[in-house]
Amino acid sequence: MDLQLPEETWVSASTWPIETALGGILDASIVGYLSTEVSTLNNISRIIERNITDEIDPFYFYQTEQFTVLWLLFSVIVVGNTSVLVGLIFGKRRKSRMNFFIKQLAFADLMVGLISVLTDIVWRSTVAWYAGNVACKIIRFMQVVVTYSSTYVLVALSIDRYDAITRPMNFSRSWCRARALVTAAWSISVLFSVPIIFLYEERIVEGKNQCWIELGSPAKWRIYMTVVCLTLFIIPAIIIGGCYMVIVWTIWSQSSALRHDPTRDTRRASSRGLIPRAKIKTVKMTFVIVFVAVVTGGLGGIGSVTVKYLLTNGAKYVAILDVHESHSVIVINRIKELENELGKGKFTYYVCDVTKVHNFTTMIIYDDYERYSTNIFLAILDCFKQVIQQQNHVDILINCAGFLNDRQIDLTINTNFKATVNCTLVAIDHMGKHKGGKGGVVVNIASILGLMITPAAPIYAATKHAIISFVRSMEGHNETLGVRIVCLCPHLTDTSLVANLEEKNLVLDFCKDLVHEARNIMKQKPETVASAIIEIIKKGKPGAVWITEKDEQPRAEHASYMSKSRKNRTLQGVSMNKFEIWEHTYPTTFFSFFRSYRTQKTLVFILCWSPYIVFDLLQVYGHVPRSQTNIAVATFIQSLAPLNSAANPIIYCLFSTPFCKTVRNMQAVSWFSGLCPSNPHPCFGTNTHGNSTRTTVTTSLTAHSSRRSGHISMLHPSSRKRVMVSLV
């Protein structure tokens, strides 16, 4: 009688007595027969399993697929990171810590391609190792070093950003900390790679010479892979994630403090934009501790109050430029007053002659009233260079320096107009996006006299009118430069500038009545003008002219010509309720934060390394069966480990507009982009737009004005090009 038993019954028969399994139904002869058959089947199963295990080829991999992936990774890593290095080193970009870290990261990633990926390609081509034992140890050591360095430079970048936000005053003192972080990253990479020298040796595996690591017992493999997982993935991910969590918390707490600070002037707050409703309702991330300001004429009158308002409204540092000698009583008293009220280390006084651009090179800084130094007038460019060197960037320029004495024509013109123009152009040179800057804001202080006929001070009024015209004309360059240039025209303000007017007018005999009348006019407080400057920084549109009078709220009396004519303008209709420079530098919402460049790099780092780490851990802990397919899959996943080094330059290109402009301006790329005029990518742009912004200074100014276009068309194209160069 044939008896068909289910499969689970056979398994039970191998475990329990046959009599129990069959319930005593069969006799002893049949039970003996079945026991023999079960033993035979178990022996055959073990023999087949052992034969299958013996036939597994440890060097088998999906050759076509892996070679394709490896060559693609190698090409992207080498081309991408080389482009980043060339763009940062040879491009006209401002030196910054961020660029310094990006260069280090690009170099580490490039070494991953040249050392790690390339040697893997060669090894998979030859299968056997022919370079010898010494080369085995050195190459494996270098592969691990560059792999660790790519990870820990990213960690150093995160720590640097954390330091910049949580301790801004200590952060921006020097480059020593940035260099120390990079040095530590490479040192840790070398330290963690030293064991590789002793673990890897040239061995004969399956009849072939291999650069091989053999740990013996599974327990040692588990310890080894756990250590690799911790040092290469988990610990860096925790540090990076922890830094960004602290950054988020710092931003959140700072913005909440600003919204709920009872000491702030909240009159008409919602309408004036100091605490906009949209900000209160929206989870935002405005970095209130990052911008650096330069104030000319910052020791007296409007300038000194502006310095105080900037530091109490979020500035981490203000450079004060004025012509007074550093050891004078005015300087000492004013420095003492500011330090007692605001604390030390938040500002530096530069003895500067704003009428000079670059005539002097010696730097004398007065930042401690107990220390005196020989007075040497500095030029504008020298001061900006020193501020950039000390603080790494400049975000805001307030031109408060002024002079009222129509009897000194040259000094009046040089101080009021020429110095304002020169300071603006120097600021553009350091802040402008066309040279790798982040953009910024320039507020030029004119006067209400620049908007009216003033017989009492025609020279002074003419200089202020020239400032207004200059600001309104510069609006056409806002999109290219990324610098908002705005003008403020205060009414008569209670400062030393308007004292002794009878000694400062051009023709006293004809202006006695006017001078007497001006003396009796109610003057506004300097605090009103300083408050208006803060308001303009937050809300002022490029080319706009604002007015303050009689201690009232500032208003944009003369909207810019461009805002009226270009209805499709990007800034038209957009609320400027926050510092635009903050928007260029840091994200303003949690969602945009997770779309930012550094956050994308963090996410890509986790996604690229996770499969490699997880699969290897599952393997050594026995959760992945040993089979030919799993060996090939493991080899393939290991080949994807350098994917992070290929993704980094792509992310940088996508998130760095200045880098795209640098690449686009290269001769070869410019020629290629000329063949693709419709390419919308920021790295290439459109041919039409490029021509319009590079060949004429008046294109954007005359796009909607036939009268102005007719006048400008008489200019020779080459002349217009020279004008563009002189301004930018």
Which 3 state secondary structure label does DSSP give 361? coil
Which strands, in side-by-side order, build the sheet including 396-399?
A: 365-366, 347-351, 317-322, 292-296, 396-399, 440-445, 483-490, 545-548, 555-558
Strand partners, 294: 319, 397
Rounded to an integer, the average pLDDT of 693-712 is 35
First to last CA, the chain: 102
Burial class (CB in 10 A: 0-12, 13-18, 19+), 252: middle
Query: Could you tell me the two tokens for 724?
Result: 């563009």
CA distances from 34 to 1, 503, 681 (A): 13, 127, 75
Q: What whole-number percentage of the chain has pLDDT above 90? A: 11
Determine contact, residues 287/585, Cβ cutoff 8 Å: yes
Structure-model confidence comparison of residues 83 and 497, the more confident one: 83
Which residue reads 């600070």 in tokens?
Answer: 261
pLDDT at 650: 78
Structure-model confidence comparison of residues 666 and 86, the more confident one: 86
Which 3 state secondary structure label does DSSP give 208? strand
Question: With bands split at pLDDT 50, 70 and 90, how would you rate the model's confidence at 59?
Answer: low
Q: pLDDT at residue 102 above 50?
A: yes
Of 136-140, 287-291, 370-374, the poorest mean pLDDT is in 370-374
CA distances from 526 to 68, 285, 661 (A): 69, 31, 42
Rounded to an integer, the average pLDDT of 574-587 is 35
pLDDT at 373: 33
Q: pLDDT at residue 319 above 80?
A: yes
Alpha-carbon gap, residue 35 to 37, rounded angstroms: 5
Which residues are CB-contacts of 128 (< 8 A; sequence separation ≥ 6)?
A: 208, 209, 210
Rounded to an integer, the average pLDDT of 512-524 is 63
Q: What pTM, to 2 d.p., does this model score?
A: 0.48
pLDDT at 538: 84
Q: pLDDT at residue 103 above 70?
A: yes
Question: With bands split at pLDDT 50, 70 and 90, how would you rate the model's confidence at 100?
Answer: confident
pLDDT at 725: 29
Structure-model confidence comparison of residues 185 and 538, the more confident one: 185
Task: For the chain, state the CA radius of gyration.
Answer: 36
∠ CA 144-147-153, rounded to 5°: 130
Determine contact, residues 485/424, Cβ cutoff 8 Å: yes
| CA pseudo-torsion sign 386, 390, 393, 397 | negative
Q: pLDDT at residue 476 above 80?
A: yes
Alpha-carbon gap, residue 417 to 455, rounded angstroms: 19
Which residues are CB-contacts of 15 (< 8 A; sequence separation ≥ 6)?
A: none
CA distances from 325 to 113, 365, 390 (A): 57, 11, 22
Letter string b/e over residues 407-427, b meaning 16 or more CB atoms within 10 A of that residue's CB:
eeeeebbbbbbbbbbbbbbbb
Of 193-207, 241-255, 423-437, 627-641, the poorest mean pLDDT is in 627-641
Q: pLDDT at residue 575 above 50?
A: no
Which residues are CB-contacts of 126 (< 8 A; sequence separation ≥ 6)?
A: none
Determine contact, residues 326/373, Cβ cutoff 8 Å: yes
pLDDT at 590: 41
**Which own/partner contact pairs does 85-88 have at CB distance under 8 Å and 24+ positions apart?**
85/110, 87/659, 87/662, 87/663, 88/659
pLDDT at 700: 32
Rounded to an integer, the average pLDDT of 695-703 is 33
Question: With bands split at pLDDT 50, 70 and 90, how would you rate the model's confidence at 144?
Answer: very high
Q: pLDDT at residue 15 above 50?
A: no
Q: pLDDT at residue 74 above 80?
A: yes
∠ CA 559-562-563, rounded to 5°: 55
Query: Could you tell me the two tokens for 582?
Result: 């903050």
Question: With bands split at pLDDT 50, 70 and 90, how would you rate the model's confidence at 453?
Answer: confident
Rounded to an integer, the average pLDDT of 671-685 is 47
Question: With bands split at pLDDT 50, 70 and 90, how would you rate the model's confidence at 139?
Answer: very high
Alpha-carbon gap, residue 380 to 662, rounded angstroms: 27
Determine contact, residues 429/94, Cβ cutoff 8 Å: no
Determine contact, residues 348/368, Cβ cutoff 8 Å: no
Strongest mean pLDDT among 105-119, 151-165, 667-681: 105-119
Alpha-carbon gap, residue 547 to 320, rounded angstroms: 24
Burial class (CB in 10 A: 0-12, 13-18, 19+), 157: buried
- Strands 317-322 and 347-351 come out as parallel
Q: pLDDT at residue 711 above 70?
A: no
Alpha-carbon gap, residue 234 to 609, rounded angstroms: 10
Q: What is the four-CA torsion angle of 521, 522, 525, 528, rounded to 10 degrees? A: -100
Structure-model confidence comparison of residues 471 and 341, the more confident one: 471
What is the pLDDT of the chain when averaged over all its residues? 69
Of 540-544, 674-678, 692-696, the poorest mean pLDDT is in 692-696
Rounded to an integer, the average pLDDT of 58-67 is 63
pLDDT at 194: 93
Question: With bands split at pLDDT 50, 70 and 90, how would you rate the model's confidence at 710?
Answer: very low
The letter for the amino acid at 491 is H
Burial class (CB in 10 A: 0-12, 13-18, 19+), 640: middle
Rounded to an integer, the average pLDDT of 222-239 is 89
pLDDT at 364: 35
Task: Give residue-wise pLDDT tens across range 632-648.
Answer: 666 666 666 677 788 77
Structure-model confidence comparison of residues 572 and 521, the more confident one: 521
**Pick from 698, 255, 706: nearest CA to 474:** 698
pLDDT at 87: 83
pLDDT at 196: 92
Q: pLDDT at residue 86 above 70?
A: yes
Question: With bands split at pLDDT 50, 70 and 90, how would you rate the model's confidence at 399?
Answer: very high
Question: With bands split at pLDDT 50, 70 and 90, how would you rate the model's confidence at 655?
Answer: low
Rounded to an integer, the average pLDDT of 100-117 is 89
- Strands 545-548 and 483-490 come out as parallel
Q: pLDDT at residue 524 above 50?
A: yes
Alpha helices in 14-117 (DSSP H): 18-22, 28-54, 63-90, 97-111
Alpha-carbon gap, residue 23 to 3, rounded angstroms: 14
Of 124-128, 157-161, 255-259, 352-356, the poorest mean pLDDT is in 255-259
pLDDT at 506: 54
Query: Could you tell me the two tokens for 257?
Result: 């403090």
Alpha-carbon gap, residue 212 to 203, rounded angstroms: 6
Alpha-carbon gap, residue 431 to 392, rounded angstroms: 11
Question: With bands split at pLDDT 50, 70 and 90, how would you rate the model's confidence at 7?
Answer: very low
Q: pLDDT at residue 485 above 90?
A: yes
pLDDT at 631: 66
The letter for the amino acid at 94 is R
pLDDT at 187: 94
Rounded to an integer, the average pLDDT of 489-502 is 74
Determine contact, residues 91/436, Cβ cutoff 8 Å: yes
pLDDT at 84: 87
Which 3 state secondary structure label does DSSP give 284? strand
pLDDT at 184: 93
Q: pLDDT at residue 544 above 50?
A: yes
Q: What is the four-CA torsion angle of 448, 451, 453, 456, rounded to 10 degrees? A: 30
DSSP sequence for 130-192: -S-HHHHHHHHHHHHHHHHHHHHHHHHHHHHHHHHHH-HHHHTS-SHHHHHHHHHHHHHHHHH
Task: Give residue-wise pLDDT tens across range 421-445.
Answer: 888 988 888 888 888 788 889 999 9
Domains of the chain: 65-260+591-665 (1.20.1070.10), 285-360+375-561 (3.40.50.720)
pLDDT at 512: 57
